[in-house]
Chain A
Amino acid sequence: MTQTTGVLTAPHTAEPVRAPRAGHAWRRGGLVLGVLTLACVLALSIAVGSRTIPLDTVWHVLWHDDGSAQADIVHQLRIPRTLLGLGVGAALGLAGALMQALTRNPLAEPGLLGVNLGASSGVVVAIAFLGLTSPSAYVWFAFGGAALTATAVFALGGSGRFPTPERQVLAGVSITAVLGALVWAVLVTNRGTFDRYRHWDVGSLADRDSDTLLRVAPFLIAGILLTLTLGGRLNALSMGDEAATALGAHPGRIRVLGVAAITLLCGAATAACGPIWFLGLAVPYIARLVTGPDHRWILAYAVVLGPVLLLGADVLGRVLTAPSELQVGIVTAFLGAPVFIALCRRRKLGAL
């Protein structure tokens, strides 16, 4: 992957940073505010649902599992679901931030660059050819698919003398198209697989067995930790390959580690919940508005903001169409697509 001076500008310089740069105090305050919001969203996610449970009751049964129906709901359904949302939200937020840093592309996002569909096609193979039925069993196949597509998109989108954000999106779209064709060929000739896949494909935190969380948790945690260690080196990379090398960083090594982390994060998140769009796009964008270009701060914010947005969307989906519910993947697409469109309208896009 050769980069030239044509693309040495980091994504954040293309985005006007609006927030006042009042140094660490401001960023720290924002992070505290984010954590408080996260606490509120966690509480809402446990309390709100097709059957709303008063907060004081939630608090009570949280500590005293008295065997009541409400305690069952909280312990069997809401807590695993909330924890899953916490992990997956953090993973997708970080994956987005990481992709944007590695590609220097403010439009990079696991959904748009096809990594989610790569994971999906792995899952289709698992369902159709191996007869696997539970998300916890999908995870390895999701990894395989995610890893293959991430590598292919980076190789294709990062090659050429002038890789631009738009071209990387197009590389994602074209690879997605080939994979999509294979997925559909399998699906429409196979009723049972289709039925299972269509429920998984919308992206949802509901109906995941509690095993799912335990199964994907190690990968999520490994991916999150790996990403957080990359923060400083991403800063070096954002100055361009030559400057990064001069600073003692190894651009190639950073990219390999980055793709590995993206694979862990997206593969695990997608295996657990299905493809979820636009979270990886919105989270780093919002983070950059507050933190400015420092990747260590962006990653810290992403860990907090990802779950806030995902769980917020999940709660919203439960409230909007109660007593049934709208899957979280649909809510994020409906909230995220307008953000994407607004972003594209604001960027000064040159001709192709």
Chain B
Amino acid sequence: MNMITEPAPDTTSSAGTGDHPATDRCPATTVSPIGRSGRRARQFVLRTPGGALSLRVRARALLVGTALLLAAAAIAVVNLSSGDFPIPVGDVLRSLIGQGDPGTDFIVHELRLPRALVALLVGAALGASGAVFQGLTRNPLGSPDFVGMTVGAATGALVVILLLDGSGLQVAVGAIVGCVLTSIAIYLLAFQRGTQAFRLILMGVGVSALLEALNSYLIVKGRLDEALAAQVWLIGSLGGRGWTEVTIVAITLAALLPAVVHYGRHLNMLALGDDTATLHGVRVERSRAVLALASVGLAAGATAAAGPIAFVALAAPQLAARLTRSPGPGILPAAAMGAALLAGSDWAAQRVLPDNDIPVGVVTAAIGGLYLTWLLAREWRRGR
């Protein structure tokens, strides 16, 4: 692909061409877009000749995204090098490019690499899913875990673990089926001449309560060992993840991330209201449907691989938006942030308690819950 760069056209003229500036403040967004500086951000457009494919890139977003990716990779390398048998970082890197000795290769490639990759990929999928979801619901609290999708995935997985005695791939399939069915149910329940963000979230709360009751019932009925395993799965864990899980989430990302990035350009337009978006050449219903389905798919793939890990999808887009000082959650920076967050949380989960590998979901929930409490307190003090 022969990319050419050019300075971005003036925002006012670009609006008329169906292109739209990333710096739009959205009047319909009642909870604040984050960057409120009036300065015009420096940005440029990558375009294929003929303009069939184009991507507007803000310099700061590119910089932050790259830095986050590097940070995520660095944390992953630290995870690969530490453990019961510490391996120097240099040896880890040599092993990764195929120059290591057999013993190191075994530990790095067979034991630690799958887990590190699952952390990165699941984090990225959750971050991207959250960014799309928050863009669609126009709400910083819109997140797959809030609207009950991950609880539905958990129910699907529990049914497979506890009732059907399944494992591995079967659990993942159960989780995906549960997640998709729950999402459809919530959407239909929330639909009343269109959907409203808050109704969607409240329906999620209601359906979650129902499914959580079902989950705790299934756990009471199970034998202690199975129930404990199921509970660990319910919290979200990266322990014992292998290449199967890497494949699941890698395929999910490869299939859905391009679609999400392509249609994600319409999120800011959708935020202006359906009429305005239509006027600017956005096919509203199709964009929304593709984005919603892809977001559900990303969350489902991530959950199938690692269990319902809380709060990454909620916090990653917000944190990324603060760093990039952009009005809305950018999808790719959010994905990079998700990867860094989850890799870091996994490091903490393995190291916080001396001889216990606690599920990573505990770490993310603790961090995320505190973050959310702070976010709510701050938004409300501001009177929004």
Contacts and interface: CB of A to CB of B under 8 A. Distances in A.
A171 B373 CA distance: 7
Interface string B228-248: 100110010000000000000
Contacts of B212: 333
A178 interface: yes
B146 interface: yes
A177 interface: yes
Given A160-B380, A202-B216, A341-B206, A178 B201 contact: no
B198 A184 contact: no
B220 interface: yes
B259 interface: no
A337 B210 CA distance: 6
A340 B206 contact: yes
Contacts, number: 162
A189 interface: yes
A344 interface: yes
A56 interface: no
B209 A174 contact: no
Contact of B213 (A170, A173, A188, A334): A334
A198 B216 contact: yes
Interface stretch (B47-55, B169-177, B356-364): B356-364
A199 B247 CA distance: 36
Contact of B359 (A184, A202, A329, A351): A184
A214 interface: no
Most buried by A among B146, B205, B227: B205
Given A188-B231, A191-B228, A198-B216, A345 B372 contact: no
Interface string A341-352: 100110001111
Interface string B291-302: 000000000000
A327 interface: yes
Interface stretch (A125-133, A161-169, A291-299): A161-169
Contacts of A345: 189, 192, 199
Contacts of B31: 352
A33 B353 CA distance: 58
Contact of A198 (B30, B220, B376): B220
Contacts of A336: 209
A285 to B, nearest CB: 14
Contacts of A337: 206-207, 209-210, 213
B141 interface: yes
B31 to A, nearest CB: 6
A89 B227 CA distance: 29
B14 interface: no
B362 A111 contact: no
Interface of B: 28, 30-31, 138-139, 141, 146, 189, 192, 196-199, 201-203, 205-207, 209-210, 212-214, 216-217, 219-220, 224, 227-228, 231-232, 235, 310-311, 353, 356, 358-359, 361-363, 365-366, 368-370, 372-373, 376-377, 379-384
